[in-house]
Amino acid sequence: MLKGVIYASSVFAGLSSVVYAAAMGALPGYASRPAAAGDIIELYATGCGPTNPAAPDGVALTKIYPTANLAAFEVTIAGKTAPVLSADLVGPGLWQMNVQIPPGLAGGDQPLVLSVNKVASQPNVMLTVQGG
């Protein structure tokens, strides 16, 4: 949460260093920039369902476990569908989804909704995007 706004936990995928998907300078001491159309970001969440193969219980994970049903994952940004490219359990209870930013978004903070099996994430989560 920053200045009363809840932001999605997200970084840009495929970079050699960590860059957060957030307004420039929003996170003092950390690199950040708004997400633009076509960018792929890594979103992080909990409670996203089963994996295939099943992840072991009660132990530290030593590898990632992909979702049992990628089609169950849906992301919208400002009401526009954002393709979910992958969804994996990467740590105990921690999921990483790679999501592509759709075109045609207005710049600024836009609502982001993750749904798994039609169950939506908490309301009022934002992602800062570059207009385009």
Q: What is the pLDDT of residues 77-112, one digit of tens each?
A: 999 999 999 999 999 999 999 999 999 999 999 999
Q: What is the pTM of this model?
A: 0.90
- Which pLDDT score is estimated for 3? 63
pLDDT in tens, 4-53: 788 898 999 988 889 999 888 888 888 999 999 999 999 999 999 999 99
Q: Is the pLDDT of residue 1 over 60?
A: no
Place of tokens 């009022």: 124
CATH for the 6-129 domain, from 2.40.220.10, 1.10.10.350, 2.60.120.430, 2.60.40.10: 2.60.40.10
- Write the pLDDT tens digit of every residue in 67-79: 999 999 999 999 9
**pLDDT (tens digit, 9 = 90+) per residue, 25-36?**
888 888 999 999
Count of residues making up the chain:
132
Q: Residues 6 or more apart from 63 whose CB is under 8 A from it? A: none
Q: Which two tokens stand for residue 12?
A: 């840009």
